[in-house]
Structure 1
């Protein structure tokens, strides 16, 4: 899946922490193998988190993102909106699609990873914009488009079917993935939650069992080509 230094990988995540939950192992391995990786977060914002009963400022979310990305070796990352967390569904879809178009034109990726849609309105809005932006175009260099997971996909309907499955062995980097998630300190829940460091590791262990390796990330393939 990863050729040393040959891929341009674009990861588009709704919020700061989704990029690690879904693609932390991929980011670390791709950067280590000298591929070009760009991470784009849809939105952060001043918000209130019920799991801590505390407000969290947008600047804190961006600092946590920076720490996580630097830890994984990725120096190309950005946030599209710094005041729209949980409000991305209020952004005109045409505006979101235009943002995605600009990213694709500017970065010229060979692989694109987008969020698996879920019950969250931000995830839905960004997924729909990505699907529009990634419509088939002539002379495209993109050879793989896939959706990444995050634990709350267990609570969504309808489920996406008739797509391919792709597993990435992250056994050699699972501890770095978990530590990168811990950089998103404001997002950490208790061990009984789907968003806890322990569950992040157990989720990867479960995906590894499906594939026959100790730990893995699973991706749902929307389009793939041999170029």
Structure 2
């Protein structure tokens, strides 16, 4: 994390774009972990594409349909905390863990949702999780097909698993978060209780020690 910390602290400041914003969430909670500050700062202009409902987070321990329902509820609560109307979520219902087989479907959904001049905010191509990386590839294809669209890429798992050198030749920019925005982002993360506390005897997906990069005052995005 040391190299990432330096890049985060020295990244040029980025302000939220003026137009519509389409945030790609491979799983419920990703839009908060990666872009919660942006959602909080521009809530009326945000649309969230929920690619999966996250029902396979604890295979063999929680029934996927039960967990998916819980995670949809958590996602709604988190978005309300950030000021985003939860009715602005569009769900694809793809099974988590299978997104690489549905990349073209994700690309088509991005193109259908993104108004002219929108900024697409998607996972970085190297964010370690296969569903994240598949969504990143889909977003790149969408923007390639629509020159009016801009792309910024959030990251979360990369802070823990991907060498910072993978950024080259891309750059990093940082959205400054004030104390209230950071507080609301933290509360939105807390809304995803199923990921912060696993089933009995099972480690949670989001162990608290992993959350540090998501709770800083500089929310970073990869430029392509």
Tell me whether the two structures share a fold, i.e. TM-score over 0.5: yes
Whose helix fraction is larger, Structure 1's or Structure 2's? 2
1:146 aligned partner:
152
In structure 1, the partner of 2:131 is 122
- Rate the CA distance shift 1:149–1:63 in 2: closer, same or farther, 3 A: same
Equivalent runs, 1:131-210 vs 2, <5 Å: 131-135=140-144, 137=146, 140=148, 142=149, 144-156=150-162, 159-172=166-179, 173-189=181-197, 195-197=206-208, 199-200=210-211, 202-204=212-214
Match of 2:98 in 1: 87
Describe the shift of the 1:8–1:44 C-alpha distance in structure 2 as closer, same or farther (beyond 3 A): same
1:40 aligned onto 2:49: yes
1:87 offset after TM fit, Å? 1.5
Compute the RMSD of aligned alpha carbons: 2.8
Structure-to-structure mapping, 1:41-60, within 5 angstroms: 41-49=50-58, 53-55=61-63, 56-60=66-70
Larger strand share, 1 or 2: 1
**Match in the other structure for 2:16:** 2
For the residue of structure 1 that corresponds to 2:144, the secondary structure is coil
Paired residue for 2:88, among 77, 80, 85?
Answer: 77
C-alpha displacement at 1:197, in angstroms?
A: 4.9
The Cα of 1:193 is off from its aligned counterpart by 7.7
Tell me the residue number matched to 1:97.
107
Unaligned runs of 5+ in 1: 209-214, 223-227
1:225 aligned partner:
none
Runs of 4+ in structure 1 over 6 Å off: none
Larger relative contact order, structure 1 or 2 (CA cutoff 8 Å, min sep 6) = 2
Conserved 8 A contact 2:159-2:213 = no
Task: Note closer, same or farther for the CA distance 1:81–1:45 as it changes in structure 2 (3 Å cut).
Answer: farther
Q: Normalising by structure 1, report the TM-score.
A: 0.75
Is the counterpart of residue 30 in structure 1 residue 42 in structure 2?
yes
TM-score of the two chains, using structure 2 as the length reference: 0.76
Unaligned runs of 5+ in 2: 1-14
| Alpha-carbon separation, structure 2, partners of 1:136 and 1:90 | 20
